[in-house]
Structure 1
Amino acid sequence: MSYSFLESKINSLKEKPAEQWVYIKKMTDKARKEDNIKKQHRAYSLASTYSRGEQQLKYSDSLLSTAYRQNDTDIIGDCYLAKGSIYMIEERYPEALKNYLKGYDYIKKKNNPYLVHNAEYLIAQTKIYLVEYQEAQNILKNVLAFYRKNQEKINDTDYSLYYIYALISAIDTNSHLSHFEENKNLIREGMDFIAKNNYPDYSAYFISAKGIDAYHQKKYDVAIQNLNEALKQYRGNWGHLTENYYLGLSYWHKGDKNSALPYLLLLDEEYKTKGKLDPLFRPALEFLFDYYKEQGHTAKQLEYVQKVLALGKTYERDYKKLYDTLQKDYDPPKWQAEKLKLENELKQEKRRKILMSGLGIVFFSAMGLYAYSNYKRKKHYKNLLYAYNQNKSYEKENQSRIITNPDSENIGMVPELSEINPLIVENILLFLEKFEKEKKYLEKDLNIQQLAQQCGTNVSYLSKVINQYKKDNFLSYINNLRLEYVVQLWKTNPKTKHLMIQEIAHKSGFNTAQSFSKNFKEKYNISPSYFLKRLDKDEEKIQ
């Protein structure tokens, strides 16, 4: 197979990642075997493009190694820029900036003006995310001056778009620095350019920039009008958190706090989902605290105080340079004092409720319901421990009874699949035995297509064998293995009980903490947090 054929297949299989990776591996192996460094570089570039997370970073390192072997400073620099962009997607801005600066140092050696100014733009954009607005503006002035005069299309790169991106970033920076007069001209310049050169999809970005600029000028009605219009014009499924953030703040400062609430809660949902939040958006949580303070909702106040404090620790750890800037607006001792105060209020409120509930039928009814609920949870907890211990001992005592050969005397234990060759069933069962033993089910984004391919069979056969011999559909089979792994991990390695649910979910192959908790509760009828608390109590009794 030729390289052009392999690359064509890779690019055509974007919707079929399992098949796509077969061809990526073929291209990589072919280039290695032939010691074709340029094709190795291209193969790693495709691998990096079509992977995500830590795997993507791994391939970016391989890409860098092939770049160094070619001894071309532009290629080396471009690889560092690509790695920086991966960190940007992951919202790891300090690492992104570090790689962008390395790439910039290499690219400057040949001094290709397009590559140099592209690197400068990326550095400036990262500094915006790190709230280093003045430094970003100084860089963007130079970038903007270059792209005003140089908007050619070179190979597949349309540098007119870089001009548009630089304009949008410059406007954003000016808004934060209160350079509103300059922004009038830049917004007009951008709108005229996209109208003249037929870039209608970018209109929404300049309308949004106009809205954000109006917010910083305290023209909240103008901000709301433009931000809503931008959201209507955007295409695609992006969350556009920036627009929602400034809409929430605009309504808030207008005094319409109820209208602000849904927008601010979108930022809170982002934090719940990802466990982190861009420093720009942190005030949203502070406004939510203020909102519930006005409502007299003590528990909600405490929730947002805890989130603000947790974010502060994250910023201190991940954004050391930025943290000093953030502390000007964020006062940890103040929030810590607020936390202690609210915790005391909640304790007092709880005592009052307990005393008041001592009267009449309501108290007994409530206690009865609580007791019944607690009894059920304790029962489910005992069932889980019992089932776990039974399964564990069964596996130890009956490893030799695992059905791996449909033709053996053990086949009578499970009905045969008459429509599948027994040898195929045997191979699949052997593969699943190895799959379970090696804990391959902990891999994220695992699907039946990938597993069938690794097994050397088709999806239909694999699905039928799992249904027949494992008594589960594919998804339940994988999730049950993961959940059983977690329970065993907690019991055998006590330190893991103190990990955050999100981290446990990640370790066990679930994409989100919510997915892990949902599946755990569906399987065991109790939440993971309750299970862990009971485990701690049981261990204290034993000690």
Structure 2
Amino acid sequence: MNLTKTIFLLSIFFFFNHLCAIDRQIDSVDHYLNAVENLVDYRDVFKEEFLDIEFLLQKNEHAQGKDKALTLLSLYTAYIYKSAELANNYNDQAMALSEKLAFREGVLKANYNRAYFLFVLGDFEESMKMVLEIQKVVGTTTYPEIFADISTLKSYIYTERGEYDRALETGLRLLDSGEKSKNDYLLMKANSALSHYYLRIENYSKSLSYCLKGLHYILKLKKTQYIYPKIDEIARMTAKLNDPKGALKVYAFFLEMEKKLPPAGSYISASVHSNMAHIYMTTGEHEKALNHISKALEINFENNYRFRIPRALTVQAELYLKTKDTSEAIINYEKSIEAAENIDAFDVIKRNSLVLSELYEKTEQPTKSKDYKILYQALNDSLFSNEKEQKIVILETKRKIKEVVQRKKILELENIAQKAKFRGIIIILILLLITSSISLFSYLKVKKKNKLLLLRTVDLAAIQLRMSEKLSEIQFAETQWSVERKSADIPKTQPRIDKDIKNIILTKLANLEKENFFLDPQCNLHQLSEQLKTNPKYLSQVINQEKKSNFNNYINELRINFLLPKLLKDIEFRNSKLSYIAFSLGYNNLNTFNAAFKKRLGILPSNFINELNNSFEIKNKSLKPPYKLKRIG
């Protein structure tokens, strides 16, 4: 047995080294299905990794302490897609034992399992509450696997709610953390989150790519509980990429795996039936499609999988449209919207309300058509869909740039390996020498100029402080007068909604600025709009038009303007650690603070503070009236 394990591990080692060296194979579906089959052939060697229930039950009888808690958690994982009652029973036992042993990791994992189960049932709100509680005590360095689990679950929930910008941001942050730490588990979960996101926005090519990358790490880590869901995802996306025959071939592979492994369970089976219904619908085999979607709905309702019901009803509605049964299609679309409202699946509501609007228009029912069109428009303008497309474009662009850089590094390394290594090293050393020489020359040349720039910046900051103190009252009075005048000019019989909203937002914003709302680390467009009781879209427009800035630059401007007088007046505060200064302004990390300060004043805060301290000692006369600074305390 040991020899067999050794041989297998060596083969896996060379297999994955080969995968890393040949990146272009990563999108090969057949390649990964063969790898799955190879791993499954060793299921008897790795019974614990394959969650063999009989093996785990025997182990549970003899295990003690933390080992028993972990075994109970494994039994939860083995049963989660098969029997919710048994799964939750084992999870509750694990929770009770972990609390008794003060086993923090066991408690956190059991809590995550509860949050995930709520997600499976479609209770996104309660699931997210639990995730946010767990997030307070985990990180990439403390319990990295639990951090990856909850980050992925967050991205799933955002995606199902239609909050696509948040889902993408969460997935990309997790991917960056995985790449920086080279943690395979983080990379596995990040690729899963991104695959789910791109599936929902119907970018099936990207979704499949991330799915296969995730499968790479599933195989490497032998996290076999994800094999069935990944095969299902691959088949679904293959079908969406206009290859129904290829998708059916993948599902045939799925059935072969069920002969070798325990059945997938009702939760995954429901998804398989729903996806197969969609495939047969595209090939015109409507009878087969109806059988599969009926089976999917039966499983979902029987197990109360509220998360899957709206999409299954949508597939059934699409099938009725294919068969020209418009009335049944309308009934199923309306049922899907009702089911989606129960779980806040706003993307389903938005999409299907638009379809219903068009169907009612075709069937000459203008009132109902108008009602659904209004519902669609309201959701389209809501919090969940009016986030600027620029944010997603920026995130995707950053990701693309990073991928290009990584590919370039790989190509460079391969090219160097093919050529004479010593010659390459010599060239690199020469380039480094030239670069260092140029950098040193440039540094010496501009050092004096930078010194003058620092002194000038300090003087300008002092002038700014003096002027801001004199003009603050005048500016406030002018703002108030302007708002009142605008409000008075608007006839009460014909209210101008846009100007009313703008004036209200500006007044509230001015009051919040006095209260230094921008020092809150949690300050963002959503939180501020809720505080002002307005739509993020209107708030963003007002800031763009009236403040001549986007939201982030507006907040940074307020923070740096708040900071400058404190640096000039308060010696003790000025000599605090930069991290403390950044935190007191509401920045969560020093890099963001440095970037904001430099953008505002042209120099780093550390250089500014050093020069300010030097000015007090060397250029004392520059601090005399009208630039004299008050010493606090």
TM-score range, shorter chain: 0.3 to 0.5
Which structure ranks higher in relative contact order (CA pairs < 8 Å, sequence separation ≥ 6)? Answer: 2
TM-score under structure 1 normalisation? Answer: 0.45
TM-score under structure 2 normalisation? Answer: 0.40
| The structure with more radius of gyration | 2
